[in-house]
Every structure is written in C-alpha cells, then in structure tokens.
C-alpha cells in the first residue's frame, strides 16, 4: 500500500511516517519502480506497536534503541524483553499514581454531591 493508504490504516500522518523512517524507527521499506514506498501488513503491525509505545510515554530514543535491536534479530530478544519489562514497570507505577488521583477526585465529587443533597 502507498503512504496515504498506510497513513489511513495506521492513523498516523504521512509526515510522522516519513519522520519515523528518517530517524531510523523503520528501515528497509520496500519501494516500487517509481521509488514510492510500498507498505505491507507487517509494517502496519510494527507501526501499531511503535504507536502503543509512544502512547505509553516511552521516549523516542528508547523506541529507536528497541527498533535497532529488532533489526539485529532474534539474538537480541532478551534485551528487547528487558526493555519492555522496565517500561511496563514504569507504566504500572504511573497507572497506580493516576488511579490515586482519580480516587481523590471522586472523593471530592462525592463530597460536593452529598453537600448539594443536604441543601
């Protein structure tokens, strides 16, 4: 698929796709005889994973490191797993913090709700 169809399939702008290619998050994108990028379903899966890492606040530098290890191959599986485990721990801590904030907000909402009922 061309870059426009790929952008639509991944919900990532063509600009961002080109940027990710420029910084090395994606390599070896096939090109047709005209030199245009030809993306595959395998590329869709990879970009969805990149997007998930970004959505969970993994820094681009870490995603780049993961991508470089991925390009090396299966011999780096242990290193990639370690990176994901570390990121999962950071994410779990952040979720716990956010849950604490949500609980406090709900406590305050309940306080005001009870106060308004008494009026």
Domain count of the fold of the chain:
1
Task: Determine the Cα–Cα distance for residues 28 and 58; give it in Å rounded to an integer.
Answer: 23
- The whole-number pLDDT of residue 29 equals 86
Nearby residues of 35 by Cβ (< 8 Å), 6 or more positions away: none
CATH number at residue 28: 1.10.1660.10
Is pLDDT at 83 greater than 90 in this prediction? yes
What does pTM read for this prediction? 0.83
Pairing of strands 37-38, 30-31: antiparallel
Residue 37's DSSP bridge partners are: 31
Closest alpha carbon to 31 in 45, 43, 48, 23: 43
pLDDT tens track for 36-76: 889 999 999 999 999 999 999 999 999 999 999 999 999 99
Neighbours of 58 (CB within 10 A): 20
Mean pLDDT over 102-109 rounds to 98
């Amino acid at each position: 698929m061309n870059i426009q169809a790929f952008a639509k399939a991944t919900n990532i702008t063509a600009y961002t796709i080109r940027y990710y290619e420029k910084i090395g998050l994606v390599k070896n994108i096939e090109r047709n005889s005209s030199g245009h990028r030809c993306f595959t379903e395998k590329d869709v899966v990879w970009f969805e994973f990149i997007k998930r890492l970004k959505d969970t606040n993994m820094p681009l530098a870490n995603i780049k490191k993961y991508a470089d290890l991925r390009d090396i191959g299966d011999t780096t599986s242990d290193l990639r797993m370690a990176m994901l485990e570390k990121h999962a721990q950071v994410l779990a801590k952040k979720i716990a913090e956010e849950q604490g904030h949500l609980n406090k907000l709900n406590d305050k909402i309940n306080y005001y709700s009870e106060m308004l009922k008494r009026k």
